Amino acid sequence: MSSESALSEKATPRESANTPYEAIIGMEVHAELLTNSKLFCGCSAEFGGEPNTRCCPVCLGLPGALPVINERAVEFVLKAALALNCQISRDTYFHRKNYFYPDLPKAYQVSQYGDSAIGIYGWIEIDGENGGSKKIGIRRVHLEEDTGKLIHATGTTSEVDYNRSSVPLMEIVTEHHPRPGFDQIKTAGEARDYITKLRAILTYLGVCDGKMEEGSLRCEPNISVRPVGSEDYGTKTEIKNLNSFRAVSRGVEYEVERQIDVLRNGGRIVQETRRWDEESATTASMRSKEMEQEYRYFPEPDLLPFHFDDEQIEQLRASLPEMPLARRQRFVDMGVSETDAETLIEDKAVSEFFDAAVSHAVDVRTVTNWVLGDFMKLLNQHGVPINQSKVTPGALAELIGLIEDKTISGKLAKGVFEEMFNSGKSPREIVEASGQTQISDTDFIREEIVRILSEPRNQPQLQKYLAGNDKVLGFFVGQTMQATSGRANPQIVNELLKEEMEKLR
């Protein structure tokens, strides 16, 4: 190649160092379905296991073995397609996607191609970067089988584990060219919100556990950038190995900036797959995708087409559980702030805990503060999911009750909660064991005393005391005991009253 032609590949003059760019981000998500068995055989679909212990002639693709569809997997994808506002294909069928790789035992992946997908043309609502909501168009929701896993052993040999082979996988792809009325994902924040919202929907449906770290939810964004105002799309790169929400936003952000940098420096984007490296927080080229793979899709002759009738679809639609956005609205209607409601619904289990706690007729805001505050902090510290915590919604409600009826102060309650979290004991049990039902909480008693002393109707008595009438102390002890339903420790009340009244001298 001559230097002239190399130069000709450089940026056009209008793409100068000051050209503002925008990113167009497509999302391809693979969700492993929570079925007990694999897609075409009775083998366990559970994660893990000694290599090649969850296999049979069917998922190993032995000669002569034939697939039988797991109907539950079809139902799961149908549910997801409905929840993602898709059109449902009344007749759906499978294709073979043919390619050679050691982890693909039949040398074809049973998948769905084109409009034979179970769901097409749906959308998902996300929060736009600049406020307001955005409707992101979904092109297709389809069912396919997972592949095995290549283990690169030492030296010149490799090993393959087929435990994951034929585990049911749902693929959800956004639209590249959006339909009128729908938006594209344009920022890293929106990409993160997309995967957050999608994960919530899938976990609410109970079709996927959404564990990005274990790979049961995999997100492969494709990214291109273009000068703002341009209608053409730039060259895409795809990012793999994004194992958390944080990695999605950081990875996309890095890649967008990298592409803009390349273009601003007169370079050219290569169509390729890039791998996100968490440690260096960069992406690096894995393989070029310049050559379009030839998959030779054709209808899978070993499986019969599926037909869904309207009644079946409507029945399933009616059986869908409350979706995250509806739950968020319900929480807001209950008096939770928009921001808190958003945090509460992100994790299905958290929202369910909240719902259960509130059902004990305690104050909604107090519950919110406890769940999103102390509780969340402890859960994160210990790495425990909320539904595996020793604290039950009823116990939290009981604790809040103890504060409300002034058995303990808010400050003491924090310690009680920590003990509840560690031991699983009920708050009343903890409080009684420590003798704290008789109020000995000095802060709490002092608060009450300060309040009583500041009350206008008590000023004449206070003046008497300050004038030297010590007997008036008895009056204030009585007032304090009354305010604490007689449970305040009288000795502490006496001492604190003296202290507080002395301060007013």
Distance between CA atoms of residues 145 and 18, nearest Å: 46
Q: Toward other proteins, which CB reaches closer, 41 or 367? A: 41
Sites for other proteins among residues 420-439 (CB under 8 A): none
Q: Toward other proteins, which CB reaches closer, 96 or 327? A: 96
Distance between CA atoms of residues 275 and 286, nearest Å: 6
Q: Toward other proteins, which CB reaches closer, 55 or 493? A: 55
Q: Kindly tell me which residue out of 48, 102, 474, 486 binds other proteins, with binding defined by CB under 8 A.
A: 102
CB 122 within 8 A of CB 86: yes
Determine if 209 is a binding residue for other proteins (CB under 8 A).
Answer: no
CB 260 within 8 A of CB 225: yes
Q: Kindly tell me which residue out of 30, 38, 79, 106 binds other proteins, with binding defined by CB under 8 A.
A: 106
Nearest CA among 103, 207, 218, 118 for reference residue 163: 103
Closest distance of CB 162 from other proteins, Å: 9
Closest distance of CB 285 from other proteins, Å: 19
Determine if 63 is a binding residue for other proteins (CB under 8 A).
Answer: yes
Burial of 310 (0-12, 13-18, 19+ CB in 10 A): exposed
Determine if 75 is a binding residue for other proteins (CB under 8 A).
Answer: no
Q: How many CA atoms lie within 13 A of 474 on its CB side?
A: 3
CB 199 within 8 A of CB 324: no
Q: Toward other proteins, which CB reaches closer, 65 or 325? A: 65
Determine if 68 is a binding residue for other proteins (CB under 8 A).
Answer: yes
Q: Kindly tell me which residue out of 26, 37, 67, 81 binds other proteins, with binding defined by CB under 8 A.
A: 67
Number of residues that bind other proteins (CB under 8 A): 30
Q: Kindly tell me which residue out of 47, 49, 65, 481 binds other proteins, with binding defined by CB under 8 A.
A: 65
Sites for other proteins among residues 302-321 (CB under 8 A): 302-304
In this structure, what token pair is assigned to residue 83?
């929840």
How many DSSP H helices and E strands does the chain contain?
17, 16
List Cα–Cα distances, 166 to 47, 220, 387, in angstroms.
12, 20, 30
Q: Kindly tell me which residue out of 6, 62, 281, 450 binds other proteins, with binding defined by CB under 8 A.
A: 62
Q: Kindly tell me which residue out of 36, 48, 87, 107 binds other proteins, with binding defined by CB under 8 A.
A: 107
**Per-residue DSSP letter, 66:** -
**Paired residues of 136 in beta bridges:** 124, 183
Closest distance of CB 298 from other proteins, Å: 6
Sites for other proteins among residues 252-311 (CB under 8 A): 294, 296-298, 301-304
In this structure, what token pair is assigned to residue 482?
């009354």
Q: Toward other proteins, which CB reaches closer, 154 or 491? A: 154
Residue appearing with tokens 């592949």: 147
Residue appearing with tokens 């068995």: 37
Closest distance of CB 307 from other proteins, Å: 14
Query: Per CB under 8 A, which region of 22-30, 103-111, 194-202, 234-242 contacts other proteins?
Result: 103-111
Determine if 151 is a binding residue for other proteins (CB under 8 A).
Answer: no
Q: Toward other proteins, which CB reaches closer, 64 or 132? A: 64
Closest distance of CB 429 from other proteins, Å: 55
Largest CA distance in the chain: 105
Q: Kindly tell me which residue out of 32, 59, 61, 205 binds other proteins, with binding defined by CB under 8 A.
A: 61
Q: Kindly tell me which residue out of 21, 108, 254, 375 binds other proteins, with binding defined by CB under 8 A.
A: 108
Q: Toward other proteins, which CB reaches closer, 299 or 490? A: 299
List Cα–Cα distances, 251 to 27, 52, 212, 290, in angstroms.
13, 33, 14, 22
Determine if 364 is a binding residue for other proteins (CB under 8 A).
Answer: no
Closest distance of CB 222 from other proteins, Å: 20
Query: Per CB under 8 A, which region of 93-101, 167-175, 216-224, 339-347 contacts other proteins?
Result: 93-101
CB 468 within 8 A of CB 432: no
Query: Per CB under 8 A, which region of 100-108, 132-140, 189-197, 429-437 contacts other proteins?
Result: 100-108
Helix crossing, 472-483 with 459-466: angle to 10°?
140
Determine if 164 is a binding residue for other proteins (CB under 8 A).
Answer: no
Three-class secondary structure of residue 26 per DSSP: strand
Q: Toward other proteins, which CB reaches closer, 100 or 310? A: 100
Distance between CA atoms of residues 482 and 181, nearest Å: 64
Nearest CA among 37, 69, 58 for reference residue 143: 69
Dihedral angle sign, alpha carbons of residues 38, 173, 342, 360: negative
Write the interaction track for other proteins spanning residues 448-487; mark x where CB under 8 A is met and - where it is not. Answer: ----------------------------------------
Q: How do 237-240 and 272-277 pair as beta strands? A: parallel
Supply the DSSP string of 357-381, one letter for each residue.
HHTTT--HHHHHHHIIIIIHHHHHH
Distance between CA atoms of residues 90 and 195, nearest Å: 28
Residues making contact with other proteins (CB under 8 A): 57, 60-69, 96, 98, 100-102, 105-108, 158, 160, 294, 296-298, 301-304
